[in-house]
Structure 1
Amino acid sequence: MTATEVRCVLVPVTGAELLLPNASVAEVTGYSEPEPISDAPAWMPGMLLWRGWQVPLIHFSVLAGIAEREELNTARICFAKSLIGSERMPYFALLTQAFPRLTTVDRSTLAEIPESERPIGVAGRVMLEESPAIIPDLDRLAHLVAHAAVGTLPLSGKTP
């Protein structure tokens, strides 16, 4: 790996693939039914107990308007590190449609797809070699999740 390469993970969600830095993914597990949260938005079906933490689960495709609902037949859970530095919510979980794939990204394999408007939670869209991918706005996602899960916004000095 060279200094210009970044190790990443392609996370399959309904209708798209998310490109995340490998360091942001804590673990991928099999699907388990979340404990519902009252009055939560449709993109947050509930909380999961993981390693002693209550972790909010999100359906990224529903949040970003890519799909109306997520399939659960082949679903997995991707636990991601929250970037807002909260002791109350150090992780959140993304529903995935299969196991994420490791990949190495550099300037020669990545090209930005220009767009005039971005859906909520999307930092940008790229072509990774010949495949489109979405780069999620992890900071914004963490703030949205914290607000929906525990009713506080923001949990850090950063604003969404």
Structure 2
Amino acid sequence: MRAAGGGILSDAGERNQKTIEVDSLLLSLATDRLQLLLPLAAVAEILEEAPQPAPADQPWLHGWLPWRGCEIPLLAYEGIADGASAAPWASHRVAIIKAVGPAASQGFYGLAIRELPRPLRLSADSDLRALDVAAPRGAALVVEVRGEPALIPDFDLLEQLVVSAGLSRN
């Protein structure tokens, strides 16, 4: 390409950088202070009116939820994070999560949520930044997403709990 004055313009040195975007869901948990950020691909379904689960005795487990002909564990993230017994589950909303790690043979598990998740399309270079704070148990990282704090779950730990819930139930 010729520039005014006869010189040649060059693209050499300029890179065609692609921004990587990830479709995500921001899940509000039972307490206002906790939100989880998950990739959309990890979530199989959102249930708006899930039935009351069969009770369980672990503080991080609301119980066993009937879903698509089987029973899956319904995790109480707050009980995982602070070890306290889960607050009564009132919203009846559940995020069904695909198990891909230690619990892959069990297929799915549920996370109790307070309200419908917010869909987000995030790019690492502009929408998300890691916060320099200790992550609570059950979180791999604490981040700020569009000005709001959120936790990125430790999926390996969640799935280890799913496995132990299944073992203790048998």
Scaled to the shorter chain, the TM-score interval is: 0.7 to 0.9
Residues 17-26 or 46-55, more deviating: 46-55
Aligned-residue CA RMSD (Å): 2.2
Alpha-carbon shift at residue 5 of structure 1 (Å): 0.3
Moved over 6 A (4+): none
Structure with the larger RCO, 1 or 2 (CA within 8 Å, 6+ apart): 1
Percent of residue pairs identical: 30
Residue 25 (structure 1) aligns with:
43
Residues 142-151 or 42-51, more deviating: 142-151
Residue 77 (structure 1) aligns with:
94
Q: Does 1:36 align with 2:55?
A: yes
8 Å CA contact retained: 2:60, 2:83: no
Residue 12 (structure 1) aligns with:
28
8 Å CA contact retained: 1:75, 1:98: no
How far does the alpha carbon of each residue in 1:60-101 deviate from its partner, in whole angstroms, 9 at most, with x for none? 012101975335333401110012265641101000000111
Give, in whole Å, the separation in 2 of the partners of 1:86 and 1:62: 19
DSSP-derived class of the 1:45 partner: strand
8 Å CA contact retained: 1:113, 1:126: yes
Q: Does 1:62 align with 2:104?
A: no
Amino acid at match of 2:159: A
DSSP-derived class of the 1:36 partner: coil
Amino acid at match of 1:31: A
DSSP-derived class of the 2:82 partner: coil
Higher Cα Rg: structure 1 or 2? 2
Give, in whole Å, the separation in 1 of the partners of 2:64 and 2:95: 13
Give, in whole Å, the separation in 1 of the partners of 2:60 and 2:102: 22
Alignment of 1:1-160 (within 5 A): 4-13=20-29, 14=31, 15-29=33-47, 30-37=49-56, 40-65=57-82, 69-84=86-101, 86=103, 88-107=105-124, 108-115=126-133, 117-151=134-168
TM-score by length of 1: 0.82
**Is there any run of 5+ residues in structure 2 with no aligned partner, and where?**
1-17
TM-score by length of 2: 0.78
